[in-house]
Amino acid sequence: MDLDALAGCLSSSACLVTQTTSGLIIGMLLFLVAVGLTLIFGVLKVVNFSHGAFYMFGAYFAMSAYQLTGSFALAMLAGAAGTAILGLIFERVFMSRVYGADVLMQLLVCYAFVLIFDDVVRIIWGPEFKAMGMPSAFQVMPLFIAGGVVPPYYLLLISVALVAAIVLGIGLSRSRIGKVIRAAAHNPGMVSALGINTGLIFGGVFALGGMLAGLAGALAAPVRSLTPGMGFSVLIESFIVTVIGGMGSILGALIGALLLGLIRSFGSLGFPLFTEGLMYLFMVIVLVSKPTGLFGKEAA
């Protein structure tokens, strides 16, 4: 334990700014993955254990598009759109067959695809690790805000994730499609009886979830190395986020992800040997005091 370092940091604005943005970056990327997970669970009532694969595909799609076109914007688009299409196909062809099935069956299908997707990446892009490289537009000196260091690329990353959160939140609660989706989550039979194609909605929600994870992968690609299996560690942290925030709650995913990011960034100062453990400890505390998660609703 190094509580002096933590106290020293909390009393210095420079350190506070740097560590807070560092926590926000980790949290925001995590949010994009976790919110897809929680959305799919909320509407389709399946836990998508293969969700990490979409994060991985997003990163690889972005890297390939960036190498082909040299355009960062197109790379992000490729990451998001590619995984959306992949998500739609995956849901229609495979996942839709196990909706009513036993949880174990769903788990088995998802886990099979974790392995299959990893091997597909290995066949297409090779087993060795890759790097996309930072676009030259962002190869600039970091900004200094109140003495703290903030890289411009991370500002972009945080704002993109924030926009996604706001659009998603408002879209689901205010728009017509959002209302239909929420209705379908509540009572798919009734929605179907009203003449709405629930298969399309389910496919769309899955594609949206995949797209958000893909976008996270694409945003992470310039700063993280790409390997087959890279989705796995992200998936585990996303689960912690959804468990803390409450399965099915978008606000919960946002708060959970940000808390986890901040725990990592400040925890690494105060508890350098126990940073990872802190996350789980926090999860345990939340679960004991509120078993449905911070924003989870009581099971009906």
Partner 1 sequence: MTRTRTPGISRRSTLALMGAGAMTFAAPWVARAQAKTVKIGMPTILSGRVAQLGTSSRNAVMLEVEKVNAAGGLAGRQIEMVIRDSKGQPQEAARVARELVNTDGCELMIDAEASSGAFAVHEVARDLGVFCIHTNSETSALTADPKQHIPNAFRTARQGVHDSIVGGSYAAAIAKAKGLKKWATCSPDYAYGRDTTAEFTLYLKRFAPEVEIISESWPKLFQPDYTEVVTKILQAKPQALYSCLWGGDLTSYIDQANIYAMFGQMEVFAVNMADYTALTVVKNLPKGIHSGNRYIKTFPTTPENAAWGDAYKAKYNEYPTNWSWENATAIMLMAEAAKKANSADGKKIAEALKGLTIKCPFGADGTVTMRGDDHTLVGYAIGWGTTIPQEPYVPEVKAGDWKTIFELEAEWKKSKGYA
* Binding of partner 1 by 153 (CB under 8 A): yes
Q: Candidates 133-141, 164-172, 203-211, 246-254 — which segment interacts with partner 1 by CB under 8 A?
A: 133-141
Q: Would you say 208 and 84 are in contact if contact means Cβ atoms under 8 Å apart?
A: yes
Output the CA torsion sign for 166, 48, 219, 296: positive
Q: Would you say 152 or 169 has its CB closer to partner 1?
A: 152
Which of 104, 194, 273, 288: binder of partner 1 (CB under 8 A)?
273
* Binding of partner 1 by 188 (CB under 8 A): no
Dist CA 94 CA 232 (whole Å): 20
Beta strand pairing call for 143-145 and 148-150: antiparallel
Q: Would you say 103 or 123 has its CB closer to partner 1?
A: 123
- 148's enclosing H/E stretch is strand 148-150
Dist CA 186 CA 140 (whole Å): 48
* Binding of partner 1 by 238 (CB under 8 A): no
Q: How far is the CB of 271 from partner 1 (least distance, A)?
A: 12
Dist CA 250 CA 185 (whole Å): 14
Q: Would you say 239 and 3 are in contact if contact means Cβ atoms under 8 Å apart?
A: no
Q: Would you say 140 or 190 has its CB closer to partner 1?
A: 140
Q: Candidates 31-39, 178-186, 268-276, 284-292 — which segment interacts with partner 1 by CB under 8 A?
A: 268-276
The neighbour count for residue 68, using CB atoms within 10 Å, is 11
Which of 92, 275, 292, 294: binder of partner 1 (CB under 8 A)?
275
Which residues contribute to the site for partner 1 (CB under 8 A)? Answer: 9, 15, 18-19, 22-23, 25-26, 29, 127-134, 138-139, 141-142, 149, 151, 153-154, 220, 222-225, 227, 229-230, 233-234, 264-265, 267-269, 272-273, 275-276
